[in-house]
Structure 1
């Protein structure tokens, strides 16, 4: 296996592991890590990409977003709260770095606007598809 494909495989595996943890732990968002897994597996091999897209973890957390339909309100809130908490901790840790705080604030605002206005919120009856 070429080194490039191996790196994508490792990236996909790391994303899958963290995404699986995020599906269980309320503090860790699963969607960004599952997106990372989809990207890594998609670049490493078609077989792994097909396998990953067939998993329940992918279907329940990422399939609607990847298909362009959107995300459930619960998933959006979970991601926004988690990212906000992590960014708040980083913001507090950068008390001597004003530029870092400004950049972080802009990234946070962009993140919130993206999830509020850029990602469609699915109605409750569309929450569980492909079951």
Structure 2
């Protein structure tokens, strides 16, 4: 029963994460992390399938393997967040919603750069 519940939650969260790619209101990464957690504990087949998806590779593979996100990837993530959130903030009909989305964006930015570590940058051994 527990295995089936985890599998169902994993599938639902993967669906929400997939929708979150297109809708900035739904956070993609947390849903994909939840899917990875549920699939790892419920189904080897779904765990392998998830790790082969583009969504996994783009959004959470680095974090799942090393608990770090490279700085270059963080900037790409941040650019996507700012683009999508700016549309949401612009079209939000109520001022409290605009303020909330702005605070959420600032929180995500802080969390991404202050809490999640980046691996050390590799220095080139090539000298001129």
Shorter-chain TM-score: which interval?
Answer: 0.5 to 0.7
Q: What stretches of structure 2 of length at least 5 have no aligned partner?
A: 22-27, 123-128
4+ aligned runs moved over 4 Å, structure 1? 56-61
CA distance in 2, matches of 1:97, 1:12: 28
CA contact (8 A) 2:39 2:46 kept: yes
> Would the alpha carbon gap of residues 93 and 59 (structure 1) be closer, same or farther in structure 2, given more than 3 Å must change?
closer
Larger radius of gyration: 2
The yes-or-no answer on 1:85 pairing with 2:83 is yes
TM-score by length of 2: 0.63
Aligned mate of 1:42, from 20, 40, 43 = 40
1:5-20 pair list within 5 angstroms: 5=6, 7-11=8-12, 13-14=14-15, 18=18
Q: What stretches of structure 1 of length at least 5 have no aligned partner?
A: 23-30, 126-131
1:87 positional shift: 0.8
CA distance in 2, matches of 1:4, 1:43: 11
TM-score by length of 1: 0.62
CA RMSD between the two structures: 3.4
1:1-131 pair list within 5 angstroms: 4-5=5-6, 7-11=8-12, 13-14=14-15, 18=18, 32=29, 34-42=32-40, 44-49=42-47, 51-52=48-49, 55=52, 58=56, 62-94=60-92, 96-125=93-122
CA distance in 2, matches of 1:99, 1:93: 13
1:10 positional shift: 2.4
